[in-house]
Chains A and B, each alone.
Chain A
Amino acid sequence: MENMETIDSTSSGQSINEAHKEALRGASLYMKIHSIIMIVFLSIATLGLLVLVSVGPDQIMAEMQNQLNTQEERMVFEAMMPMMTGMGLFMLFIIGGYLYASTRLLSSANSLGAVSYTGSVNDLYNGFKAMKKFWIFSGIITILVVILVIVFVARLVPQLIEMQQG
C-alpha cells in the first residue's frame, strides 16, 4: 500500500480533482459528527445496559411488573417473561455491533478527509474499505434485529391467544 500513488489533482478529469476534494471535505465533516454522536450515545447505552444487567434481571422484572396497571398489560408482560432472560445480552451484542460500525464510519471519515488534502488513492482506498465495513455491519445487525423481532412476535402471539382463550 505504501507505493500507491497520489493522483494529480489537475489531471484531465480521470482522477481526483477539486470538485472531488470539496465533496470529500463536506462528507468527511458530517460523517465525523454523525459517528461521534453515535459513539457517545451508544457508549452511554452500553453503560446503562451493563448497570441493568449487573442489578439483576429478577429485580428489574419485579420493578417493571409494579409499573403495570391493567390486566391486559400484565398478560402481555407474563407472556414476554420467558423471552426477556437473554434479551439484555442480545441488546448488548446489538449495541456493541453498532458501536463497532460507528468506529468504522469515523475511520472512513478520517481517511476521506485526508484525501481531500492529499489526493492520495491510498487514503481513498482505506476510506472505502472502512465505509464498506460500516455498511456490512449495519446490514448484518439489521438482519439480526429483524430475526429477533420475528422470533419474538412468533412466540408471543400464540401465548397471548392461549391466555385470552383461557
Chain B
Amino acid sequence: MENMNQNENSFPEEMLREVRTMAGWMTFMAIFAIVMGAFGIIGNLAGLAQAPNAQLVVSILATIASIYMAVILIKKANAFRQFSFNGSSESLLEGLQAVHRYWMYSLVLMVANFIITLIF
C-alpha cells in the first residue's frame, strides 16, 4: 500500500472510495426495503379490513420494524457517505454507531421473526 494516498485526516483515499461505493448500495437496499415494507403494510391492511386476525397485526408490526431498520440503514449510509467525502472522524463514529445499532436491531428482529413463525 505504498502509494496509498492519505488525506489530511489520516484515512487513505482508497478506503474512502470503498466506503462511498458501499454507502450507495446501502441506500439502494434501504429504499428497496422501505418500498417493499410499504407494499407489505398495504397488503396486510387490506387483509385486516377483510378478516381481522392477530397474525396480520403481528405481521404489520414486523413490517414497521423492518422499515425502521431501513431508516437506520439510510442514516448509516449518509454518515458513511459524508465520511467518504470529508474523511471526518465524527462522521466515521456516527456511521459505526449506526452499524452497531443496525446489526443489534437486526438480530432482535431475526429472533422475534423466528418466535413469531413458531407461534403462528
Total interface residues on A, CB under 8 Å, equals 35
In the complex formed, the residue of B with least CB distance to A115 is B96
A23/B99 contact (C-beta < 8 A), A4-B1, A4-B4, A33-B107 known: yes
Complex CA distance for A94 and B107, rounded to whole angstroms:
22
Complex CA distance for A125 and B1, rounded to whole angstroms:
11
B18 partner, pick from A17, A19, A23, A125, beta carbons under 8 A: A125
Contact between chains at A7 and B10 (CB < 8 Å): yes
Contact between chains at B15 and A124 (CB < 8 Å): yes
Query: Interface code B2-24, partner A: CB below 8 Å = 1, 0 otherwise?
Result: 10100011111011001101100
CB within 8 Å of A: which of B82-114? 89-90, 92-93, 96-97, 99-100, 103-104, 106-107, 110
Q: How many A-B residue pairs have CB under 8 A?
A: 87
Contact between chains at B12 and A23 (CB < 8 Å): no
A interface secondary structure, majority? helix
Question: B41 an interface residue at 8 Å Cβ cutoff?
Answer: no
Contact between chains at A132 and B89 (CB < 8 Å): no
Complex CA distance for A106 and B26, rounded to whole angstroms:
17
Residues of A within 8 A of B92 (CB): 16, 20
B100 partner, pick from A30, A37, A125, A138, beta carbons under 8 A: A30
Interface residues on B, range: 20 to 34
A135/B15 contact (C-beta < 8 A), A4-B1, A30-B103 known: no
Contact between chains at A26 and B104 (CB < 8 Å): yes
Residues of A within 8 A of B89 (CB): 13-17, 20
Question: A155 an interface residue at 8 Å Cβ cutoff?
Answer: no
A2/B1 contact (C-beta < 8 A), A132-B22, A135-B25 known: yes
Query: Interface code B21-40, partner A: CB below 8 Å = 1, 0 otherwise?
Result: 11001101100100000000
In the complex formed, the residue of B with least CB distance to A132 is B22
Chain A residues proximal to chain B, CB less than 8 Å: 1-5, 7, 13-17, 19-20, 23-24, 26-27, 30-31, 33-34, 37, 121-122, 124-125, 128-129, 131-132, 135-136, 138-139, 142
